[in-house]
Amino acid sequence: MELIVAVLLTVTTAATPLLLAAMGELVVERSGVLNLGVEGMIVVGAVVAFAMAQISGNPYLGALCGALAGCAFSLLFGFLSLTLVTNQVATGLALTILGLGLSGMIGENFVGQPGVQLEPIAIPLLSSLPLVGPLVFNQDIIFYLSILSVVGVSWFLFRTRIGLQLRAIGDSHGSAHALGISVIKTRYLAVMFGGVCAGLAGAQLSLVYTPQWVENMSAGRGWIALALVVFASWRPLRVLAGAYLFGAVTIGQLHAQALGFGIPSQFLSALPYLATIIVLVLISRNRRLTLMNTPASLGQSFVPDR
């Protein structure tokens, strides 16, 4: 039982940043905006969170600053793509490249330093339950926020008027504008939410998953999060399932290496990304399912006076 709990805890830790980043991107894409800069926002959030935790000695302040760093990066993307109406794909890719370079520069003096770790918060009584207790009720605050994000986004998108407006913008920004909905303002707020989630995902990497700073420590998680949104057909609960599936694949290859299976370590390390490609290929074969939930205005720029 202890071994099972230990393995499941590592799966949970690996899945949390994927879940947070994917939930933020889901809201962004539901508004009709395609932000490919998730990887850059994650790695900037990671280095800022680690640096502030080191300087202040407070990991909670570090996590907050990581979220704010992701939000600031998302505002840069919003200004370029929503205000200046640049190409969203090119802007997102540029944001990722900028984030990787900037994080390396900021974190240069923090390489090799021991990190300040976010400690688990045990919920009284519930944390003592067998199996479920340590997995769900004895976790760090970012894990709790990731689960709350699933519940909150599901409620927001499908149970509130503002969520309906956001989905309407994603399906037809021209029609939404004609009805008096502020398209640009709503998209800015969605992009900022995505940035906060990506920044928190980065903070989880440097304060919980591996409490240290390593250059490029996001290791492609931003791209997996983008694939997860498509894999989940833009549905929050499916994102939750997909994140834990990919987390299990990531941890599974580590355990396979530790057990000494006669498989090249490079192939095992590539398994999460190979799984991402396979999932996307399988989804693309069902065109009806893909088009059913895809925001019709995804990636399309909007200018009110046109």
* pLDDT at position 237: 93
Choose among 153, 218, 213: nearest CA to 17: 218
* pLDDT at position 89: 94
Choose among 286, 8, 20: nearest CA to 141: 20
* pLDDT at position 45: 96
Question: How many other CB atoms are there within 10 angstroms of residue 195's CB atom?
Answer: 30
Which tokens go with 48? 């800022």
Q: Note the pLDDT tens digit of each residue in 150-159.
A: 999 999 999 9
Q: How many helices (H) and strands (E) does the chain have?
A: 13, 2
User: Which residues in the chain show pLDDT less than 50?
Assistant: none
C-alpha to C-alpha distance for 185 and 194, rounded to whole angstroms: 14
Domains and CATH numbers, the chain: 2-117+132-293 (1.10.3470)
Burial class of 201 by CB neighbour count within 10 A (0 to 12, 13 to 18, 19+): buried
Choose among 247, 256, 273: nearest CA to 8: 247
* pLDDT at position 257: 65
C-alpha to C-alpha distance for 183 and 248, rounded to whole angstroms: 38
* pLDDT at position 250: 79
